[in-house]
Structure 1
């Protein structure tokens, strides 16, 4: 029986973002994906567009599909939501691999990130990206997704929901991956937060920036396979 793997997308993305990776992993895993609320055409409720609710959505999805001992890969925001879900609702998630996940939230880091989420400037400077957002999130207005994402980041900045205390109590295996060129997650900040986790591995991917489409998909799939394999080999339940 194949291990179960859930793939989680990043901010401003959708489940479609993970399709190439899902295809690479389908031979070895029972792969699942979904789009968080407000993403990929899912209804946007500003009150529920929070990291805490996204973490709860993971628990809901696993419960609804009766999935246990699930391995999770989370890109960027998806990694943060996965770790928060495992910390707040332990039991269903067996291991987590994160890539490019920004863990160090503060008012200053939130301000730096949200400065990039100005709809007017985005239309002027990155029109192709705006067109991609329109396609990804239709029928929801892309500007609403951008505004909700900025609000979520500001909330994380003022009240981070992952910290040294709750991370130190998360005992499942976690593989923290970050690109050497990732200016969003940051190598040293990722290293510091990985150190809070009692059962974590940390790796810097050479010549790798933040955007998922610029990551070596074959190498990423291999790291997920090897990590899950080592995790399941060490598990007394398998």
Structure 2
């Protein structure tokens, strides 16, 4: 069976994909891991960056002797995979992204970063605060928020992927976006699809952005359709 690596998004962790993995293991050798500073690695020091996470991915593949895997990257995970592919072409066989934000600019980044305020989240969305604590730890979750906000602001100043970077990517890339996604626009996804040499874009009706709001069975079937021949 082919190797498939699943990459989590910002503020996320590998544990979020347990149900999806169970549906895909009959078809693939499924691998997943936590980026530095997240989940089981929430005590890792240092700033967050797309470049750092891309190196996490490269190191994981080297340690497990995984060559040209299939990749599913949710949100930031998709951005990380495409960044590594733009730097080292033919690293992957095929990449599928879901809810990946590509249009990073100063105004948008500041808006997203403002939402990552631990105090406000605890006050206004306590259930989400508890969820983040369950992913990263009672203390570490606030650090994850702070470092993610800082990374977003840096992306607003200098995106890790520019139009010419997408031109370097020659492998098949399938971009998925939920029709109810309020973080990622249809236009930015379609624009990237046009920049890719071998890219497709598919809108998933009634899907929202948060991974815990995505219907797992539908996602699994969509991935099987994209990855399996025939």
88-97 or 150-159, which deviates more? 88-97
Shift of 1:44: 2.9
Aligned residue in 2 for 1:236 = none
Aligned residue in 1 for 2:32 = 33
Q: Does 1:175 align with 2:138?
A: no
Query: Structure 1 pair 139/64, CA: closer, same or farther in 2 (3 Å)?
Result: farther
Kindly indicate whether the alpha-carbon contact (under 8 Å) linking 2:90 and 2:170 is maintained by their aligned counterparts in 1: no
Aligned residue in 1 for 2:22 = 23
Partner Cα distance (1:201, 1:94) in 2: 15
Partner Cα distance (2:139, 2:122) in 1: 17
The gaps in structure 1 that reach 5 residues or longer are 234-238
Q: Please give the residue correspondences for 1:77-226 in structure 2 after superposition, counting only pairs within 5 Å.
A: 77-138=76-137, 141-226=140-225
Aligned residues: 229
Query: Structure 1 pair 128/139, CA: closer, same or farther in 2 (3 Å)?
Result: closer
Partner Cα distance (1:22, 1:106) in 2: 34
Say what the alpha-carbon RMSD is for the aligned residues.
Answer: 1.3
Partner Cα distance (1:26, 1:184) in 2: 30
Kindly indicate whether the alpha-carbon contact (under 8 Å) linking 1:41 and 1:140 is maintained by their aligned counterparts in 2: no
Kindly indicate whether the alpha-carbon contact (under 8 Å) linking 1:114 and 1:153 is maintained by their aligned counterparts in 2: yes
Partner Cα distance (2:143, 2:131) in 1: 14
Partner Cα distance (1:45, 1:152) in 2: 14
Match of 2:34, SS? coil
Partner Cα distance (2:57, 2:138) in 1: 23
Aligned residue in 2 for 1:45 = 45
Shift of 1:46: 2.7
Partner Cα distance (1:202, 1:46) in 2: 35
Shift of 1:214: 1.4
Kindly indicate whether the alpha-carbon contact (under 8 Å) linking 2:14 and 2:33 is maintained by their aligned counterparts in 1: yes
Partner Cα distance (2:94, 2:201) in 1: 14
Shift of 1:139: 6.3
Partner Cα distance (2:223, 2:40) in 1: 28
Q: Does 1:74 align with 2:73?
A: yes
Shift of 1:89: 2.3
- TM-score under structure 2 length normalisation: 0.96
Shift of 1:92: 2.9
Aligned residue in 2 for 1:7 = 6
Shift of 1:90: 2.6
Q: Deviations over 1:212-232 (max 9, x none)?
A: 1211212211221121124xx
